[in-house]
Amino acid sequence: MKEMTVNLYECKHCDGVGTCKNGENGASCLACYQKNELPFFSRKNQFGLLCGSCGGIGKAEPLTERMHNRIAPMLAVIMVFSLLVIISVAAFTKSPFFSELLAFSSAIIGSVVGYYFSSKGK
């Protein structure tokens, strides 16, 4: 529970209220009209529309956090995959560095896999 609140920040668009007041005279802004899929003719002086940035929650995930959560697993997969390719290339060409490569790669792969398996438990 506590970790969740630490990872969220107050939505800048609606100041954590959840409804948009960024348009004229405290009405909702154009971007939020669009997010709420209002027909064009009613896109004026609408008050208290759901904030389009946070979906009305008032809290949002920091962008860096989201990037990290998405990119890190991808990087790990790419890294493990390319290491496997390097190992098989080394095996095919009977590289003199094969045993070193194998030891090096298996250590990395092991720690990556271990990291993701242990972090999934949280």
Tokens of 12: 């800048």
- For residues 28 and 105, which CB has a smaller minimum distance to Zn ion in the complex? 28
Side-chain-side CA neighbours of residue 75 (13 Å): 8
Contacts of 41 (CB under 8 A, 6+ apart): none
Dihedral angle computed from the Cα positions of residues 78, 84, 88 and 90, in that order, rounded to the nearest 10 degrees: 90
Per-residue contact flags (x/-) with Zn ion for residues 47 to 86, judged by CB under 5 A: ----x-xx--------------------------------
Per-residue contact flags (x/-) with Zn ion for residues 5 to 44, judged by CB under 5 A: ------x-xx-----x-x------x--x------------
Residues that bind Zn ion (CB under 5 A): 11, 13-14, 20, 22, 29, 32, 51, 53-54
